[in-house]
Amino acid sequence: MTNDNVLLDLADGVATLTLNRPDRLNAVDWDTAVRLIGLLHELKQRDDARAIVLTGSGRSFCAGGDLAWVDSDSLMSERIVPRDQRKNAFGPFAGITEAIVEVDKPIVAALHGHVAGVGLVYAMACDRRFADETMRASAIFVKRGMAPECGMSFFLPRLVGVPEALRLVTTGAWVEAEEAKRIGLVDELSPKGEALAAAQAYAAELARGPSIAVDLARRNIYRALTATLQETFDYELLASSIASASEDAKEGVQAFLDKREAEFKGR
């Protein structure tokens, strides 16, 4: 397995993960999937990584699964597959989706060029999506005679609504940047070449914040999507108790009393 198919850059609390197969429009093969999962698991444990940006090199974010590799009829049999992945027919390709969700830190996608198939799934699994005007997206599976995979059916209707999701998964239609912004598939739209900078600026703002409180806040939002109001009260009470005991909470209160900007350290 090569080590340069996903690049990691960490600066000022922001970890930028870059899919790096530009000659394949960053289409994901097995080794790329395993590498990305490993890096996401690593970043979950690193205190110096307080926010994450996922992007792609070259002309596109990710054109989906690498069909030149996937045409094998023995995807699992020739690989040493972790037990948890062997229970999922999509193996590490679905494992990326799970790792994005389970990283438990703010994670945003910087999109340009093709965002298709599993590439679209991975973008949707992030907290927010920053795109430039070259971005075009497709839930393209049906165009290849396949059904949606790796979490497409979970994320898409939550972002764009059921009718729009049904249109996209049954037609495989391409959605250009402006339409993607209009239907809610993209959150922020930038001029050509500026999506990564916008995503990193947003991630840097979060990284400068009280990261314990930030992580707990985003966790509560996701939990509340499937919780009752009383369960949400319980989650919020627990999160508030944990955050209030942090050094950053003490700094936040003292800064308010001193009438100055707080200097958070993520502790």
Q: How far is the C-alpha of 68 from the C-alpha of 16, rounded, in Å?
A: 27
Q: How far is the C-alpha of 103 from the C-alpha of 119, rounded, in Å?
A: 18
CATH number of 211-258: 1.10.12
The three-class DSSP label of residue 89 is: coil
**Burial per residue of 19-37, b for 16 or more beta-carbon CB atoms within 10 angstroms, e otherwise:** bbbeebbbbbbbbbbbbbb
Q: How far is the C-alpha of 74 from the C-alpha of 77, rounded, in Å?
A: 5
The three-class DSSP label of residue 103 is: coil
Contacts of 226 (CB under 8 A, 6+ apart): none
For domain 6-207, the CATH class is alpha beta
Tell me which long-range contacts 99-104 makes (C-beta under 8 A, separation of at least 24): 99/36, 99/37, 99/40, 99/41, 100/40, 100/54, 100/125, 100/126, 101/125, 102/40, 102/44, 103/40, 103/41, 103/43, 103/44, 103/52, 104/44, 104/215, 104/219
Q: What residues are paired with 128 via a beta bridge?
A: 108
Please report the pLDDT score of residue 91 as a whole number. Answer: 72
For the chain, the structural domain boundaries read 6-207, 211-258
Identity at 60, one-letter amino acid code:
S
Alpha carbon 256 to its chain centroid, in Å, reads 33
**Which residue has 């037609």 as its token pair?**
171
Please report the pLDDT score of residue 176 as a whole number. Answer: 96
Please report the pLDDT score of residue 258 as a whole number. Answer: 85
What end-to-end distance do the CA atoms of the chain give, in Å? 36
The three-class DSSP label of residue 7 is: strand
Burial class (CB in 10 A: 0-12, 13-18, 19+), 125: buried
Please report the pLDDT score of residue 72 as a whole number. Answer: 52
Instruction: Count how many residues are written for the chain.
Output: 267
Please tell me the pTM assigned to this model. 0.89
Q: How far is the C-alpha of 140 from the C-alpha of 116, rounded, in Å?
A: 6
158, 240, 244 from 235: Cα distances, Å: 22, 8, 14
Show pLDDT as tens, one digit a residue, over the chain (267 residues). Answer: 457 999 999 999 999 999 999 999 999 998 899 999 999 999 999 999 999 999 999 999 999 888 765 555 545 455 566 666 566 656 788 899 999 999 999 999 999 999 999 999 999 999 999 999 999 999 988 888 888 888 999 999 999 999 999 999 999 999 999 999 999 999 999 999 999 999 999 999 999 999 999 999 999 999 999 999 999 999 999 999 999 898 888 888 888 888 888 888 888
Q: What share of the chain is helix, strand, coil (3-state, %, to 5)?
A: 50, 15, 35
